[in-house]
């Protein structure tokens, strides 16, 4: 009888290695030969081959329990989806294409079972949807769920859309309907039963769609002069664009594409315009267009409404014009994690 080898293949048996195996298995299902990822999850670092002649875009985004999502309210798959969608939206805002991403994940021991499986399922769906594959990252233990995503993207040379190029007289546009995500959060907080993932009123908040195709179309056709995504609300994000461009703005409240409020969950403090101006998490695009090109912007793009809401001004103030024509300063009441509530 021949001697049998006493040696077996070396395998990792640590708890972290088991988690990495699950992440790796999930990532492999979304790999694509055209994404430029030569070496991905499983080595000390990833190797990425950029498209020849393209400029690279790099962005990162935190997604933290208690700050950006609630453990007892948000489904795990929506957290997986949204953590990538948020970062991919920054690439959309520059007119670029996301290629791959890094995931850093801190988890408590209670979230290593079904919760992690659901999280990875949502992350995989987002990865496939946005054609952005997992390249690597890091894992550790934490008392709360902490997620950090870094996305690498690309844009053709000279086509990246910045916040700093808006000029006086240009028209301000927004995509989509604003305030839907904030309304979804309000309704989510009111729900006492398990969240229905198919609820259309919660979809914008739980599963946002970064406007990648729109951003790329605006950049490729040189239609927009400046652009950013609406992550913190118009009243917070528009001042950022104006500050970067050293301009002001005047927007018409009657032209804001505000969320339609449902009867259920409505309270006396909720107001469609307030949600549209100050609500965060919409991940729509805010962009400026020279007047000479404004007629080339359609009323909708792939079913997404595009609305003129105002214009860029030389005077560095931010004005809101009400339905009676009265002008007032636009209050900054959007999302600010450092704001001290009074």
Domain boundaries, the chain: 15-155, 163-329
Residues near 260 by Cβ (< 8 Å), separated by ≥ 6? 177, 272
User: Which pLDDT does position 24 carry in this prediction?
Assistant: 77
CA distances, 134 to each of 9, 44, 97, 163, 306 (Å): 27, 14, 15, 28, 32
Q: What's the CA angle centered on 338, arms 333 and 340, to 5 degrees?
A: 70
Query: Which two three-digit tokens encode residue 332?
Result: 């900054």
Residues near 135 by Cβ (< 8 Å), separated by ≥ 6? 37, 40, 41, 46, 48, 100, 101, 102, 152
Q: What is the mean pLDDT of the chain?
A: 89
Q: What are phi and psi of 279, to 5 degrees?
A: -75, 140
User: Which pLDDT does position 341 carry in this prediction?
Assistant: 59
Check pLDDT > 90 for residue 199: no
Q: What are phi and psi of 64, to 5 degrees?
A: -115, 135
Check pLDDT > 60 for residue 208: yes
Q: What is the pLDDT of residues 111-142, one digit of tens each?
A: 999 999 999 999 999 999 999 999 999 999 99
User: Which pLDDT does position 268 carry in this prediction?
Assistant: 38
The alpha carbon torsion through 104, 106, 111, 113 (nearest 10 deg) reads 50
List the one residue out of 106, 115, 20 whose CA is nearest residue 71: 115
User: Which pLDDT does position 194 carry in this prediction?
Assistant: 67
Between CA 193 and CA 182 the distance in angstroms is 19
Mean pLDDT of 156-177: 97
User: Which pLDDT does position 34 carry in this prediction?
Assistant: 56
> Higher pLDDT residue, 196 or 220?
220
Burial of 189 (0-12, 13-18, 19+ CB in 10 A): exposed
Q: What is the pLDDT of residues 17-70, one digit of tens each?
A: 777 778 777 777 555 545 778 887 777 788 888 888 899 999 999 999 999 999
Neighbours of 255 (CB within 10 A): 14
235, 178 in Cβ contact below 8 A? no
What secondary structure letter does DSSP report for 41?
B
Structural class in CATH, domain 15-155: alpha beta
Indicate the pTM of the whole model.
Answer: 0.89
Q: Which residue has the tokens 């990532």?
A: 27
Mean pLDDT of 97-103: 96
Q: Which CATH superfamily is domain 163-329 in?
A: PurM-like C-terminal domain (3.90.650.10)
Between CA 276 and CA 251 the distance in angstroms is 12
Query: Which two three-digit tokens encode residue 202?
Result: 């919660």
Q: What is the pLDDT of residues 222-281, one digit of tens each?
A: 999 999 999 999 999 999 999 999 999 999 999 999 998 887 545 433 589 999 999 999
Provide the β-strand partners of residue 59.
Answer: 151
């Amino acid at each position: 009888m021949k001697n049998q080898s006493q040696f077996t293949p070396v395998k990792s048996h640590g708890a972290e290695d088991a988690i990495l195996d699950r992440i790796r298995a999930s990532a492999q299902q979304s790999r694509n030969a055209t994404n430029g990822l030569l070496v991905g999850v499983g080595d000390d670092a990833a190797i990425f081959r950029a498209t020849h002649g393209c400029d690279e875009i790099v962005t990162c985004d935190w997604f933290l329990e208690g700050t950006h999502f609630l453990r007892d309210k948000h489904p795990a798959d929506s957290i997986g989806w949204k953590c990538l969608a948020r970062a991919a939206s920054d690439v959309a805002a520059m007119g670029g294409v996301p290629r791959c991403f890094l995931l850093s994940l801190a988890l408590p021991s209670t979230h290593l079972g079904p919760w992690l499986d659901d999280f990875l399922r949502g992350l995989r769906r987002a990865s496939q949807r946005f054609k952005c594959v997992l390249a690597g990252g890091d894992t550790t233990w934490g008392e709360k769920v902490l997620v950090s995503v870094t996305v690498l993207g690309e844009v053709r040379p000279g086509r990246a859309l910045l916040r700093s190029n808006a000029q006086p007289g240009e028209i301000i546009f927004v995509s989509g309907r604003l305030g839907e995500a904030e309304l979804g959060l309000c309704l989510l907080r009111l729900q006492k039963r398990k969240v229905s993932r198919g609820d259309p009123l919660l979809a914008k908040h739980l599963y946002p769609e970064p406007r990648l195709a729109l951003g790329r179309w605006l950049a490729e056709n040189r239609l927009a002069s400046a652009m950013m995504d609406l992550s913190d609300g118009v009243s917070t994000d528009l001042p950022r664009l104006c500050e970067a461009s050293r301009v002001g703005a005047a927007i018409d409240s009657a032209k804001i594409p505000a969320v339609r409020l449902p009867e259920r969950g409505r309270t006396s403090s909720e107001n469609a315009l307030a949600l549209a101006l100050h609500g965060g998490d919409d991940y729509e695009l805010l962009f400026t267009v020279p007047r000479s090109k404004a007629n080339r912007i359609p009323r909708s793009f792939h079913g997404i409404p595009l609305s003129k809401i105002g214009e860029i001004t030389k005077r560095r103030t931010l004005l809101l014009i009400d339905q009676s024509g009265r002008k007032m300063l636009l209050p900054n009441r959007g999302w600010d994690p450092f704001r001290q509530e009074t």
